Chains A and B, each alone.
Chain A
Amino acid sequence: MIETDRYAYYPGCCAKASAKEYDATTRLVCQALGIELVELENWVCCGASSAHSVDKLLGITLPAQELQSAARLNLDLVASCSLCFSRLKIAAHELKNENIRNQVSEILNEKIPANPRNGVKHLLQVLESHMDKIPLKKPLKDLKVACYYGCLLGRPKEIAEFEDEENPQVMDKIISRLGGEPVEWGFKAECCGGSHIFTRQDIVLKLSHRLLYQAKQAGADCLAVVCPVCHSNLDAMQKSIDAEYKDKVDLPALYITQLIGLAAGLPVKKLMFDKLFVDPIPLLRRKGLV
């Protein structure tokens, strides 16, 4: 049996840079819910968009290392970033192929098992299974949240094994559990532009603007996000989006862990709202949450 309140944790590169607040609040919230996260030793980049675009084998080998580390711990591996999650899932899927498994085993100089006992989970799935344990100190009353899952979390369906790829529900369930109001909107699982931010900013501005616009149309006060890449597009780029589309979006994008921490009454200082580009404090103050 794989333990259900102890997980191998793969923070991903963003955790050490642009998404420090996500990493910190993930650890904080998990601790509050009695989930033990064991950070993988000597973890490396999952390869993100770059590795597999230039070399398929490299794109599999990098996450295969993390899968092996987790297997040695005999724990399910949890990733908080949707892109890392996707790469880990795809690697686990590709490693079912004997030919690829042998190649990667040779590179890593380590025998990769054909049927590993442990699996890969996204942080959301872990949070969902522990949702009942959230201490509801400060319910997110009247806070209308647009849950944004991003396009990678559920796709491809057969490999991600997540939820309905077009209309996932777990984050909405968590927001309801926190006393907030998840809004119905059609862009939960649409693309934000992802890593095109480095090469084709125009694409990201267009797609992310559409997301923010639609969330506002649906009546959202803020976005709940589960991926550092999506987050930087939707949060850090909001100024550029406003400039490009002559709009005034002003829609804070918070990590789901920050919202859970807030509702659970964790110290606001530790939730690191100051790391966000679009300051959520005025909103939270209006709603009487800080």
Chain B
Amino acid sequence: MARVGVFICHCGTNISGAMDITRVVEAARKMPMVVTASDNKYTCSEPGQASVRQAIADNKLNRVVIAACSPRMHEPTFRKAVAAAGLNPYLLEIANIREQCSWVHAHDRKKATDKAIELVKIAVAKVIRHEPLYPREVPVTKRALVIGGGITGIQAALDIANAGHEVVLLEQEPTIGGRMAQLDKTFPTLDCSACILTPKMVDVANHPNIRLITYAEIKEVRGFVGNFKVEIMQKARKVDHTKCTGCGTCWQKCPEKSPSEFDLGLGNRPSIYIPFAQAVPAKPVIDTDHCRYIKYLQWVADGEQGKKPPECRICEKICPTGSIAWDQEPQTITEEFGAVVVATGFQVYDHRHYEEYGGGAYPDVISGMQLERLMNASGPTGGEIIRPSDGAHPKTVAFVCCVGSRDQAKGRTYCSKVCCMYTAKHAIMLKEHDPHVQCYIFYIDVRAGGKDFEEFYLRALDDAGAIYIKGRPSKIYQDGKKMIVLVEHALMGRPIEVAADLVVLATGMEPRTGADRLAQKLNISYNTYHFLVEAHPKLRPVETQTDGIFVAGACVGPRDIPESVAQGSAAAAKVVGLFSRDALVTDPVTSVVNRDRCIGCLLCIAVCPYKAIDCETTRDKRVVAVVNESLCKGCGLCVGACRPKAVDLRGFTSQQILEEVNSLWS
């Protein structure tokens, strides 16, 4: 005989403000099998939970209904409370009278009360049919995958590895280091970016617990927390890294040059290359789009049409270790992991979308990242700041803030957060490089929210003498050798023109191209800009809705270096916490097949999004479906698809759902 207790929460005034709680309590008392019904200001608080536990003991309750917020919010809390009183935690049902009632019907008190009563009634009808469920345990593979070898991924990998666990660090480019490796100095301390980053890169390469896989991408991810199976696609480097010593003879002699991705097109690199001098691994890859021999092979394959291209193969001829491997093809590596950290970072917004600023046609309108490369001593100009068009030293430099950020017309409403500060840094650095430089900075607001940021901004103003002008430029055009910036000086309220030698666009951050596809493979969410979505923006910033998958750094939203590092460490702490257990408890709310009823049509296998259903042959030679409970997420699609009604979902059985519906008629 079921003995149900109903507990109705006020949630402060969140629920009680919109309905008559007393009437809900009274109605609940009259519902079938309900032994006690009471209300509480905050049921989730410790006194609230204590009153639930006390009521269970006092009234010998064996079923509990909590009418409060969404089960997504506090179902785990109340399951624990019920378990503490000695009941099976699955003998609980939540009636959501907040998100689905008081918050949406705040304008009509009577109807909200009526609806709350019905929601409680439904929950009571269902909970009567609940049965105890028991979680199972699955083992944990204590090995982590970190996707993305920027500063965030490096930090996460090092922290997990230092805790004694194996880590695979995956990077799609030929080297780790990410965007931070391209920067010259960092704000607000002006310490050299490479000087603080490259030692960490070396640590990664030398760490006994870290295996580095560069120039590779995720192909497929299967499995679940503690037991992921990941297929990694290793792109063809055409260089055998087991033989290569990284001596550098090949890339010094390669005759075919193309624009360097690392220097954002400001300089050239050979076709067999390492992206920059301190690259890790310091072993080259061959760019198959530009390599002369690959082009020659293509020409042969195309039937030797047209002029014969040079065969080249210089790198092969001079390589002292015979490492060039023309026949190397992409490889698929399959690895097992217990947890995944996604740290795919950002890319710089492409300012070619701004036609009003020349759409990328003016060589002297560059992005902030390009200026970083021009200022960098190991950059294409050796640290000499010159105009890309004619090599002259710019004396007047205009900076335009919020390019690709805070601009609804370009579909980018968010603030990229770092641009105000890096522009201030550029102004200070330019003045240090050449005291005769005058900087003009066009801004919407100067956002200097961070430790020592405001002081840094004042340094740009007072020490570097940068002239800050409030207004978003409407147009940039060339007049002879000068770039003319048209802008409304918002504080003077009239249009002005500034003639500059060089214009630097403070381009914002956007997620890496392909972040959405990766998220789909990992079964995690992303927003309209393709930034990944955390499980809770405040309380679970590095977790996702998929257990065992963590996110960190600028792939979640614009972040500066300290924040990215903190997030990398936070994600590592979560992974290490997960690995501290030998087994994981799985949710028993899964589907189950009644083998006597199953006709072996296997439609359920086709509809299952988690590949959780398989088939087997019974002793009487019938084919039946069987559910892998570790993989099953309890979505119930198979239940809907099953024609003979052989599949049922524990915790949401067809009988329980029918009782819910029936209760509304009785």
Measured CB to CB, the closest approach of chain B to A188, in angstroms, equals 9
A190–B497 Cα distance when bound, in Å, is 15
In the complex, whether B73 has a CB less than 8 A from a CB of chain A is no
A279 at the interface (CB under 8 A from B): no
Which residues of B are found within 8 Å of A187, using beta-carbon distances?
Answer: 477
Tell me the complex Cα distance, A265–B446, Å. 59
A148 to chain B, nearest CB (A): 14
B452 touches A (CB below 8 Å) = no
> How far does the alpha carbon of A187 sit from the alpha carbon of B409 in the complex, in Å?
19
A166 to B354, CA, bound (A): 8
Nearest residue (CB) in A for B479 is A217
Decide: A184 near B361, CB < 8 A? Known: A157-B409, A214-B477.
yes
Separation in Å of the B550 CB from the closest CB of chain A?
Answer: 40
Contact with B along A167-200 (1 / 0, CB 8 A): 1000000000000000010110010000000000
User: Do B475 and A186 touch across chains, with their CB atoms under 8 A apart?
Assistant: yes
- CB interface residues, A 106-133, toward B, < 8 Å: none
Cα-based distance from A217 to B356 in the complex (angstroms): 18
Task: Decide if the interface of chain A is mainly helix, strand, loop or mixed.
Answer: loop
A214 vs B484: C-alpha distance when bound (angstroms): 12
Cα-based distance from A186 to B409 in the complex (angstroms): 19
Q: Contacts of B356 on A, CB cut-off 8 Å?
A: 166
B359 CB within 8 Å of chain A: yes
A187–B475 Cα distance when bound, in Å, is 9
Q: Does A142 contact B (CB under 8 A)?
A: no
Q: Return the CB mask of A155-169 against B: 1 if under 8 Å, else 0.
A: 001000000101100
Question: Total A-B pairs in contact (CB under 8 Å)?
Answer: 18
Within 8 A of A (CB), among B343-363: 354-356, 358-359, 361
When C-beta atoms are compared, the residue in chain A nearest to B356 turns out to be: A166
Q: Which of A166, A214, A217 contacts B355 (CB 8 A)?
A: A166
Interface string of B326-369 (1 = CB under 8 A from A): 00000000000000000000000000001110110100000000
Per-residue CB proximity of B196-240 to A under 8 Å, as 1/0?
000000000000000000000000000000000000000000000
CB-CB under 8 A from A166, the residues of chain B are 354-356, 359
Chain B residue with Cβ nearest A217: B479
What residue of chain B has the Cβ atom nearest to residue A184's Cβ? B361
CB-CB contacts of B557-583 with A at 8 A, as 1s and 0s? 000000000000000000000000000
CB <8 Å contact, B479 and A186: no
Q: List, in ascending order, chain B residues with CB within 8 A of A190's CB.
A: 475
Contacts of B475 in A (CB 8 A): 186, 190
Q: How far is the CA of A186 from the CA of B476 in the complex (A)?
A: 8
A164 to B352, CA, bound (A): 13
> Within the assembled complex, what's the spacing in Å between the Cα atoms of A187 and B355?
11
Residue pair A164, B355 in contact (C-beta under 8 Å): yes
Residues of B close to A184: CB separation below 8 A: 361
Q: How far is the CB of B189 from chain A (nearest CB, A)?
A: 39
Q: Which of A212-255 contact B (CB under 8 A)?
A: 214, 217
Distance A166 CA – B486 CA, assembled complex (angstroms): 14
Task: Decide if A167 touches B359 in the complex (CB within 8 Å).
Answer: yes
Chain A: minimal CB distance from B136 (Å) = 55
Q: Tell me the bound Cα distance from A186 to B362 in angstroms.
A: 10
Residues of A within 8 A of B354 (CB): 166
CB distance from B440 to the nearest CB of A (A): 20
Alpha-carbon separation in the docked complex, A164 to B409 (Å)? 11
Q: Which of B469-525 contact A (CB under 8 A)?
A: 475, 477-479
Q: How far is the CB of B79 from chain A (nearest CB, A)?
A: 50
Q: How far is the CB of B505 from chain A (nearest CB, A)?
A: 15
- A187–B359 Cα gap in the complex (Å)? 13
Query: Closest CB of chain A to B474's CB: distance in Å?
Result: 9
Instruction: List A contacts of B479 (CB < 8 A).
Output: 214, 217
- Taken together as a complex, chains A and B put the C-alpha atoms of A164 and B478 apart, in Å, by 21
Q: Which residue of A lies closest to B409 (CB)?
A: A157
Contact with A along B359-393 (1 / 0, CB 8 A): 10100000000000000000000000000000000
Task: Please measure, in the bound complex, the distance between the C-alpha atom of A175 and the C-alpha atom of B151, giving whole angstroms.
Answer: 51
User: Within the assembled complex, what's the spacing in Å between the Cα atoms of A167 and B477?
Assistant: 13
Instruction: Give the B-binding residues of A (Cβ under 8 A).
Output: 157, 164, 166-167, 184, 186-187, 190, 214, 217
Closest 7 CB pairs of A and B: A166-B355, A167-B355, A186-B477, A166-B356, A167-B359, A164-B355, A186-B358
**16 extra interchain contacts, Cβ-Cβ under 8 A, other than A166-B356, A186-B475?**
A157-B409, A164-B355, A166-B354, A166-B355, A166-B359, A167-B355, A167-B359, A184-B361, A186-B358, A186-B477, A186-B478, A187-B477, A190-B475, A214-B477, A214-B479, A217-B479
List 18 A-B residue pairs with CB atoms under 8 Å apart, sorted by A's residue number. A157-B409, A164-B355, A166-B354, A166-B355, A166-B356, A166-B359, A167-B355, A167-B359, A184-B361, A186-B358, A186-B475, A186-B477, A186-B478, A187-B477, A190-B475, A214-B477, A214-B479, A217-B479
